């Protein structure tokens, strides 16, 4: 009977070292284990990093090559680029269970005991040494690097209470309280935001990475630790908060650079996967354009002159924004007692809290204010899609605003449109129907839309025309007001005078 052909149920019935030897168990390093299981998955065309999108041809092949090379890995990238998630998914490449000496705090391999306890157990009991089984989920340790992390936290220190309880001198190995890294023996150890570790703490990692041993105070201790190290770091940290000391970088075998989604389709996959839409929120219809607009907001932020590019714009922005967009429509439906509703373009002003808290602004952005920058990003998003869906307003002006003539004339004759944020669907539609030429414009360009999506596009057309100064738009506390561009300018001047 071959050890590697046994089922989990059969393995868990093995209770002693002798039984383990009888089924042909052989020791294997954690990096070899990861390599072997990756090879099996690649050969069988099985997914390796499920749920990670946009890295199929860039980051994931590099990680797989690093695992095949049995390297320690540093994932370098801006915030919100799935670095920690990738590290956590590596656990799935571990064996489901591994044997350890029962009671060992360092996950001692029964055939190659590491600790004093493990060696004493095997010496005392031989083939009758009791065995326990460790699930792969228990073989993952993650530590966020902060300036207050100490050598004792990571590696260990002497424990006076142990010494007193066991009546042992401080020179005895048994009085050591081991830190997180030794306790991660035969597993994956992740340090997030590595540059935040103080340089003297980083130095303490040198020997572990190179030789696999540790030093605790004055002990002559050598523990050949078996660990897969994964580090994550933000490039911003190298200049703003700290850096990875050069000798440590030299000991990390593979540095892999992550990135943001390169297109809207990939961003949408991530957002739809991660956003938590509650079952009762299924009453809210979200159109394809609205989903694309959420992703475009992040794209606009990443190239905005107001946003600090070095800090990045996390994918969490689009996830939170999508959740807020749906909640804005849900809230309105609850207020109006409606069982079904759909998102509106005006609901996009409800995602501003999701934007303003997730972008780092440069000096100019700080001067304008986070709310202004967020509104500007939504505005740029509308501009981007408007020209893709409707005639270019700049070109139409040369034709006396051909496609938009009826709409502009209606506003030019003194009419105005107030879209209340919390208006019932019936009132919302009635308001949009008042604008002549608006429905015809949408029908001509998109004849196959459903009735609800048609109204979404009618409102979108108004917002787009406002972005291109064909009509004016004013965001009030409880509504959005559209007017003729000239009267809107006069009203703005009057408001300034009042102030």
**In angstroms, rounded to a whole number, what is the distance separating the alpha carbons of residues 362 and 364?**
6
**In angstroms, rounded to a whole number, what is the distance separating the alpha carbons of residues 419 and 441?**
19
**In angstroms, rounded to a whole number, what is the distance separating the alpha carbons of residues 63 and 395?**
49
Residue 351 near residue 324, CB atoms below 8 Å: yes
Question: In degrees rounded to 5, what are phi and psi of residue 379?
Answer: -60, -45
Residue 273 near residue 51, CB atoms below 8 Å: yes
For the stretch 290-325, what's the b/e string if a residue is b when 16 or more beta carbons lie within 10 angstroms of its beta carbon? bbbbbbbbbbbbeebebbeeebbbbbbbbbbbbbbb
**In angstroms, rounded to a whole number, what is the distance separating the alpha carbons of residues 414 and 490?**
13
Tens of pLDDT along the chain (499 residues)? Answer: 688 888 999 999 999 999 999 999 999 999 999 999 999 999 999 999 999 999 999 999 999 999 999 999 999 999 899 999 999 999 999 999 999 999 999 999 999 998 889 999 999 999 999 999 999 999 999 999 988 898 888 988 877 887 788 777 766 777 788 889 999 999 999 999 999 888 888 888 887 887 766 777 666 677 788 999 999 998 865 544 568 888 888 889 999 999 999 999 999 999 999 999 999 999 999 999 999 999 999 999 999 999 998 888 998 999 999 999 999 999 999 999 999 999 999 999 999 999 988 899 999 999 999 999 999 999 999 999 999 999 998 888 777 667 899 999 999 999 999 999 999 999 999 999 999 999 999 999 999 999 999 999 999 999 999 999 999 999 998 999 999 988 655 554 445 444 4
- Kindly report the length of the chain: 499
User: Across 84-226, where does the E strand assignment appear?
Assistant: 97-101, 131-135, 140-144, 156-158, 176-178, 187-192
**In angstroms, rounded to a whole number, what is the distance separating the alpha carbons of residues 152 and 164?**
19
As beta bridge partners, residue 307 has 361
For 225, which DSSP code?
A: -
Tokens linked to 491: 């009203």
List helix spans (H) across 131-263. 151-154, 160-166, 180-183, 199-203, 206-210, 237-240, 246-251
**In angstroms, rounded to a whole number, what is the distance separating the alpha carbons of residues 67 and 32?**
9
Smallest Cα–Cα separation from 78: which of 404, 311, 348, 382?
A: 311
Residue 312 near residue 298, CB atoms below 8 Å: no
Query: How many alpha carbons lie under 13 Å from residue 471 in its C-beta half-sphere?
Result: 31
**In angstroms, rounded to a whole number, what is the distance separating the alpha carbons of residues 361 and 374?**
11
């Amino acid at each position: 009977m071959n050890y590697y052909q046994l089922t989990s149920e059969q393995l868990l019935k093995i209770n002693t070292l002798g039984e383990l030897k009888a089924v042909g168990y052989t020791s294997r390093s954690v990096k070899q284990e990861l390599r072997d299981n990756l090879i099996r998955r690649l050969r069988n065309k099985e997914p390796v990093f499920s749920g990670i999108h946009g890295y199929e041809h860039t980051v994931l092949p590099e990680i797989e090559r690093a695992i095949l090379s049995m390297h320690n890995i540093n994932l370098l990238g801006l915030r919100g680029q799935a670095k920690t998630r990738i590290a956590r998914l590596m656990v799935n490449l571990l064996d489901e269970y591994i044997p350890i000496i029962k009671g060992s705090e360092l996950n001692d391999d029964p055939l190659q005991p590491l600790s004093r306890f493990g060696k004493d157990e095997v010496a005392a009991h031989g083939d009758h040494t009791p065995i326990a089984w460790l699930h792969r989920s228990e073989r993952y340790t993650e530590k966020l690097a902060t300036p207050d992390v100490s050598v004792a936290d990571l590696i260990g220190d002497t424990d006076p209470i142990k010494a007193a309880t066991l009546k042992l001198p401080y020179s005895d190995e048994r009085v050591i309280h081991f830190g997180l890294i030794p306790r991660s023996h035969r597993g994956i150890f992740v340090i997030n935001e590595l540059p935040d570790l103080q340089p003297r703490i980083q130095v303490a990692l040198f020997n572990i990475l190179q030789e696999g041993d540790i030093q605790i105070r004055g002990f002559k201790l050598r523990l050949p630790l078996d660990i897969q190290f994964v580090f994550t770091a933000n490039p911003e940290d190298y200049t703003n908060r700290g850096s990875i000391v050069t000798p440590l970088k030299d000991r990390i075998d593979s540095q892999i650079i992550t990135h943001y989604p390169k297109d809207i389709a990939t961003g949408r996959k991530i957002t739809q996967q991660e956003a938590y839409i509650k079952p009762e929120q299924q009453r809210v219809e979200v159109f394809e354009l609205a989903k694309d607009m959420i992703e475009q907001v992040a794209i606009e932020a990443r190239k905005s002159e107001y946003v600090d590019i070095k800090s990045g714009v996390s994918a969490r922005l689009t996830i939170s924004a999508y959740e807020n967009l749906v909640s804005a429509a849900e809230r309105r439906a609850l207020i109006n007692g409606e069982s079904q509703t759909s998102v509106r373009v005006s609901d996009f002003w409800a995602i501003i809290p999701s934007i303003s808290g997730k972008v780092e602004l440069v000096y100019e952005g700080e001067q304008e204010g986070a709310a202004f920058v967020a509104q500007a990003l939504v505005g740029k998003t509308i501009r981007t899609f408007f020209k893709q869906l409707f005639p270019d307003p700049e070109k139409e002006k040369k034709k006396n605003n051909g496609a938009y003539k009826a709409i502009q004339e209606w506003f030019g004759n003194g009419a105005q449109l107030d879209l209340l944020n919390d208006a019932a669907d019936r009132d919302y539609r009635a308001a949009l129907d008042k604008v002549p030429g608006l429905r015809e414009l949408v029908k001509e360009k998109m004849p196959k839309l459903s009735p609800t999506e048609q109204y979404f596009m009618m409102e979108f057309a108004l917002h787009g025309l406002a972005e291109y100064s064909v009509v004016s738009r004013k965001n009030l506390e409880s509504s959005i007001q559209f007017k003729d561009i000239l009267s809107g300018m006069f009203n703005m001047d009057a408001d300034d005078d009042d102030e």
